[in-house]
Amino acid sequence: MGLEQIFDLIRKGGVVMYPLIILSVISWVLIVERVVNLRVAAFLPSNLNEIKLLLQKMDVDGALKVASLNRDVFSRGLVRVFEEYLSGVRNRSQLGNIFESELSSIVPQVEKNLLLLSAIASIAPLLGLFGTITGLIKVFSAYASVQTDEAMRLLAGGIGEALTAAATGLIVAIPALFAYWVFRGMGNDIIDKIEREAKEILSFLE
C-alpha cells in the first residue's frame, strides 16, 4: 500500500483516524520495548549458578563477592541477604523478609507498560465506534438536506467513513490486547522463576 493510498484511507476514516494512528504507534513502541526487555535474563544474574555452587559449599563470603559484581535487582537482594547472614542473622523468615523487600521493585518492572497497552486495547474500539457513529450521522444528514443523487454520494462516503473507522479501531486494538495477555503471561512466569530461585537461595542458608 503506497503513501497516497494510506492518506486516502485516513481521509475516508474521518478525524478519528488521527488519534487511532497515534495509539497504534504508541502500542507498537510499547510492544517492541517489552519484547526487548521482558526476559528472564534481564532480572536474574548470569552468574547465578556460580553463586549457588558457592552456597552449596557454604562459601557465603565468596557468593557475596560474586553477587556484588552484578547490577540487577535480584543480585542487590542477594548481597543484602548475604551481608545480613554474615552479620549473624540466621532466621530464614527474617532473611526471607529482607529478600522480599529488596525484590519488591521487580514486579513494577515486569509489569511496565502493560496497563497502557490494556488502555489502548480498550480505547481504540471506542474511537472506532465513535467514527462509525459520526459516519452514520453524515448518512442521515445527507438524506435530510440534499437531492437524491447527491445523497447517494454522501451515503457512500458516510458508510465508507463508518466502516474504515470501525476497522481501524479493531486493527489497533487487537495487537495491543494480544500483546498485553502474552506479556502478562511472560511476566507471571518470570516472577514465578524469581520466587523459586529466591527460595532455593534461602534453603542453602539454613
Q: What is the largest CA-CA distance in the chain?
A: 91
From CA 39, how far away is CA 42, in angstroms rounded?
5
- Residue-wise pLDDT tens for the chain (206 aa)? 555 555 666 666 677 888 999 999 999 999 999 999 998 888 998 899 999 999 998 898 999 999 999 888 999 999 999 988 888 877 888 888 888 888 888 889 999 999 999 999 999 999 988 888 877 777 776 666 655 666 666 666 667 777 888 888 999 999 999 999 999 999 999 999 999 999 999 888 87
> What's the pLDDT at 13?
63
Best CA proximity match to 110, nearest among 41, 195, 188, 197:
188
From CA 197, how far away is CA 52, in angstroms rounded?
10
From CA 67, how far away is CA 75, in angstroms rounded?
5
Contact 80, 100 (CB under 8 A): no
From CA 205, how far away is CA 88, in angstroms rounded?
12
pLDDT, tens only, 112-159: 999 999 999 999 999 988 888 877 777 776 666 655 666 666 666 667
Contact 180, 114 (CB under 8 A): yes
Integer CA distances (angstroms), 9 to 6, 52, 134, 166, in order: 5, 58, 16, 12
Angle of helix 48-56 relative to helix 148-204, nearest 10 degrees, comes to 20
From CA 197, how far away is CA 97, in angstroms rounded?
15
Contact 113, 91 (CB under 8 A): no
> What's the pLDDT at 177?
95
Cell numbers given for 51: 553463586
